Amino acid sequence: MQVALTGKTKTITLPGDRSIVTSPGLDVTLTNLLDPSKTVTLNITGAFHQSTTQTGDALTVVTGRNLIGDPEVGLVLAIGNFSYVFRGSVLVQPLMGHGQLIQFVH
């Protein structure tokens, strides 16, 4: 799969080992490399709120419209409020939350 981004994104560093990644006007075009006639363009203007928990885990909360690659659910368009947690490179809380998940690749 080919992934092409167009638009703006910005990372805002906050106190307390936190950050927000915003993406106003960001679009992504996904193209199936085995069949390039299969393509979709998605508006992904959501935000990623990233912080470190007291135990050192990496907590990510996504709000709005975001394209997320999750080891358990695959590549999804998440619309709403979702979160996931990594401990190092290990997923300890899979994607969960409220809203709609549209799966593209698993």
pLDDT tens per residue across span 7-50? 999 999 999 889 999 998 899 999 999 999 999 999 999 999 99
Strand 90-105 to 27-31 pairing: unpaired
* Stated pTM of the model: 0.85
First and final CA of the chain: distance in angstroms? Answer: 12
Domain ranges in the chain are 2-105
Q: Please write the tens of the pLDDT for every residue from 49-101.
A: 999 999 999 999 999 999 998 777 788 999 999 999 999 999 999 999 999 99
Q: Which of 23, 8, 36 is nearest to 78 (CA)?
A: 23
Q: Which of 71, 105, 74, 76 is nearest to 91 (CA)?
A: 71
